Amino acid sequence: MIFDTIDLLLLLCTDSKSLRPFLKQLSNDTWFHLFSQLTQQCNDGLSSSTNSSNIHLPLTPTFDLKTMEKLGILFEKLSELTENRRLFSKYNFLYIFKEWKQKFVNDSPFLVLNMKSTLLNLEQ
């Protein structure tokens, strides 16, 4: 289920007139907290996760690189909105993106490129 949701979010991130309003709808604490939980699940290889906001992630297999690349595209799009810098900082995404950039340099050049672009957007 979570993989289908990530695929749907990625489809909605295609360049169109509705992209910016869609990204603005994802630009809040609820979504960023969920994204934070997903990245933690990616990093830790957990099969399930629950957070204090009562958002329950279903049991899922360990995230693969393809799923992480999809999340990377979504993060790159969200990083283009300067108002999201506070949320990326609040949920410690800069550290996570730098970690992914180093960790996957040999395994996923696409993810590394995405992380570089995202970090560049956030540091401008």
pLDDT (tens digit, 0 to 9) for every residue of the chain, 124 residues total? 778 888 889 888 888 899 999 999 999 999 999 999 988 888 765 333 334 444 544 444 467 888 899 999 999 999 999 999 999 999 999 999 999 999 999 999 999 999 999 999 999 8
Q: Is 69 helix (H, G, I), strand (E, B) or coil?
A: helix
pLDDT at res. 50: 38
pLDDT at res. 62: 62
DSSP assignment of 70-105 equals HHHHHHHHHHTSGGGHHHHHHTTHHHHHHHHHHHTT
pLDDT at res. 59: 42
